Amino acid sequence: MLRLACKNFLKLNCVCGILTKIKTEIKEFFMPKISPLAVGNHSISLEEIKKQYGPPPWGHRVVITDQMTGTVICQAPGHPNDKHYHIYDEWWVVLEGEIHWEMEGQSEPVRAKAGDFVFAPKNHFHHIHVVGDKPAIRLAISVTGEKHRHEK
């Protein structure tokens, strides 16, 4: 179903004569360059993932089970991230760089740098910003299938 939707979207862009990098971004997003960890594939290094993807933005699902998903996300300074929430808790480990999280109910942003853990309770809006002039990489842990929600 998802592939069909993407295929139809890309056909529409071609018909309109607007072939943009959206095609590449969609293809790269849905077709990981490295297989997620699973039975028989128990480890991968961050350096290997970075070499495969190159400059940001990119995301790679390192673990996908029926209950949880772990996604490595590389975001450049100034790259947009939408304000959203989830109906399940979500948490992150900052692997590189510095990131600020605007969290619903907090008067100041949560500031995190490499080695820090950040938690967003379910049903709380959050908005992520990379700080400084270098990309930031984080590992996001969430419930499998959970999506960004924009309205309560």
Q: At what angle do helices 2-15 and 22-30 cross, to 10 degrees?
A: 170
68 CB neighbour count, 10 Å cutoff: 13
The CA-CA-CA angle for residues 84, 86, 90, to 5°, reads: 105
Query: Which residue, among 60, 101, 85, has the nearest Cα to 148 in the 3D structure?
Result: 85
The DSSP bridge pattern shows strands 98-103 and 126-131 to be antiparallel
The DSSP string of 6-74 is HHHHHHHHHHTT---THHHHHHHHHS-SSPPBBTTB----HHHHHHHH-SSSEEEEEEE-SSEEEEEEE
H or E segment to which residue 2 belongs? helix 2-15
Half-sphere exposure of 24 (CA within 13 A, CB side): 6
Residue 151 has pLDDT above 90, yes or no: yes
- The reported pLDDT for the residue numbered 37 is 72
Tens of pLDDT, residue by residue over 44-92, are: 999 999 999 999 999 999 998 889 999 999 999 999 899 999 999 999 9
Thinking of the domain 36-143, which architecture would CATH place it in? Sandwich (2.60)
- Answer yes or no: pTM beyond 0.85: no
Tens of pLDDT, residue by residue over 4-17, are: 444 444 444 444 44
Q: Where are the domains of the chain?
A: 1-31, 36-143
Residue 3 has pLDDT above 60, yes or no: no
Residue 35 has pLDDT above 80, yes or no: no
- The reported pLDDT for the residue numbered 129 is 97
Half-sphere exposure of 106 (CA within 13 A, CB side): 16
Beta-sheet strand order (sheet of 58-64): 58-64, 68-75, 136-143, 90-96, 117-120
